Structure 1
Amino acid sequence: MMPTSSPARPRQERDRRVHEAVHEAVHALLSEQGMRLSMEAVAARAGCSKQTLYAHYGCKQNLLRAVMRDQIALTTVPFDEDGADLRESLLAFAERHLEQLNRPHVIQTCRLLDAESHRFPDQARQIYEDGIAALQDRLAEWLRKASARGQLRHDDPHAMAELLLGMIVGLDFERQRFHTPHRSDAPSRRRWAERTIDSFLRAFAAQGSSPESHA
């Protein structure tokens, strides 16, 4: 008798394709329309029906939240590990974060959201909470665990996370906003990431350790 495939597998694969198409559509529409994007526009761009979109996400707020959470998960992939090599894990995060901020659709989206946030304060607040604040929370938890392992000195992990994120971005985001040359290539981002992480590790090194000893 020939084995039969589980009926759940085609459905899961179909759901995955819908998920990817919808998230790509949201990213594109955010960079084109900002917070004015509608569920109808997302469905049309993703090539699915509005009914499918509402069945998967329920409402626009849930859709934006799902997209932000996926983005945070991608940015913090290195933090899924145990952080045995603290410096390399932080460098991987810093480079990934800078690379993400340099994507054209991200730059355009940030410009539009900045211009429209006063008109859509509730949606802007939601995007901040599900995006930037969620990234800070996840980074803070990872730094807390590194402190518990004795890799960093004990301090307020949320303050440490905010300082690190600010150091990583530096003035590059402002340069992008004002159409000024910024760290748009991988080598310059790597150099800045190394400077940032080594400075952070010197500031928060555990007693008796140095940045070189965090491997």
Structure 2
Amino acid sequence: MGTVRPARDKGGRPDTATALRLSHAILDAAERIFLAQGFTGASIEAIATAAGTSKQTIYARFGSKEKLFLAVSERLLKPKFPVQPSGDASLAARLGTAARQILAAMLDPKMVRMYTIITAEAHRFPELAHAADDNQSFPARLLVLHIIEQALESGEICCDDPASAMLMFQDMVLAAPLRSTALGIRKWTPQDLERWADSAVAIFLNGVRSSPL
């Protein structure tokens, strides 16, 4: 693969379009190599060679191998959450939309692979595991937290800790499907996932509603 040769402006820096293309090239190469070789097996040198750039450039742009891995994960996840649940919809409908997007995002084969990489490497790279589990690393968490906080303000639900409620909802929706998919012990059909999402929302709401259904 030919080296990307940034166009230079008068200050010696690559122009914006060239810099953006180089970032995309680095992320493309990192995605391929991380997915194929895992976190330990992937080297920054190999990623730099595949992207047509240098290790120094990658470190300057992303800071570390862990941050590059997270940038790949973020780029894979971000397009998976195109729909913001309508504020006019019912609480069940808003949570249902979020649940379906969570399942579609995380059961994508690439994200399942990223999850297994993080799980396998957590004991060797605890900083990577902690960073990957941060709310900012998973768009769904902030989305669900916003829905829960809105429902609290309107009096639709009652809970002492919205952040903990958000994590409980995430795990009710995602934990079993992701685990069984990663282990290869179950193949979930779209119909299975629809039913699972609906059940998770119903059980969650029965636990946090302000008054009985």
Q: Please report how far the alpha carbon of residue 192 of structure 1 lies from its aligned counterpart in structure 2 after TM superposition.
A: 1.6
Percent identity between the aligned chains? 24
Q: CA separation of 1:30/1:151 partners in 2, compared to 1, >3 Å: closer, same or farther? A: farther
Q: 2:34·2:69 contact (CA, 8 Å) conserved in 1?
A: no
Q: 2:86·2:94 contact (CA, 8 Å) conserved in 1?
A: no
Q: CA separation of 1:179/1:62 partners in 2, compared to 1, >3 Å: closer, same or farther? A: closer
Task: Report the counterpart of residue 106 of structure 2 in structure 1.
Answer: 101
How many aligned residue pairs are there?
199
Q: Please report how far the alpha carbon of residue 164 of structure 1 lies from its aligned counterpart in structure 2 after TM superposition.
A: 0.6
Select the residue among 160, 166, 182 that pairs with 1:161: 166
Task: Report the counterpart of residue 18 of structure 2 in structure 1.
Answer: 14
Output one character per residue of 1:53-103: Cα deviation in whole Å (capped at 9) or x when no partner: 233223323323434444564455545x66332333322221121112222
Q: CA separation of 1:22/1:176 partners in 2, compared to 1, >3 Å: closer, same or farther? A: same
Q: 1:75·1:93 contact (CA, 8 Å) conserved in 2?
A: no
Give the counterpart letter for 1:201 in structure 2.
L
Output one character per residue of 1:26-49: Cα deviation in whole Å (capped at 9) or x when no partner: 333332222222322222333444
Task: Report the counterpart of residue 193 of structure 2 in structure 1.
Answer: 189
Distance in 1 between the 2:107 and 2:156 partners?
Answer: 30
Q: 2:102·2:140 contact (CA, 8 Å) conserved in 1?
A: no
Structure 2 unpaired stretches of 5+: 1-8
Task: Report the counterpart of residue 5 of structure 2 in structure 1.
Answer: none
Secondary structure of residue in 2 paired with 1:171: helix
Give the counterpart letter for 2:39 in structure 1.
M
Q: Please report how far the alpha carbon of residue 161 of structure 1 lies from its aligned counterpart in structure 2 after TM superposition.
A: 0.9
TM-score, length of structure 2 as denominator length:
0.72
TM-score, length of structure 1 as denominator length:
0.72
Q: CA separation of 1:152/1:26 partners in 2, compared to 1, >3 Å: closer, same or farther? A: farther
Select the residue among 22, 29, 35 that pairs with 1:25: 29
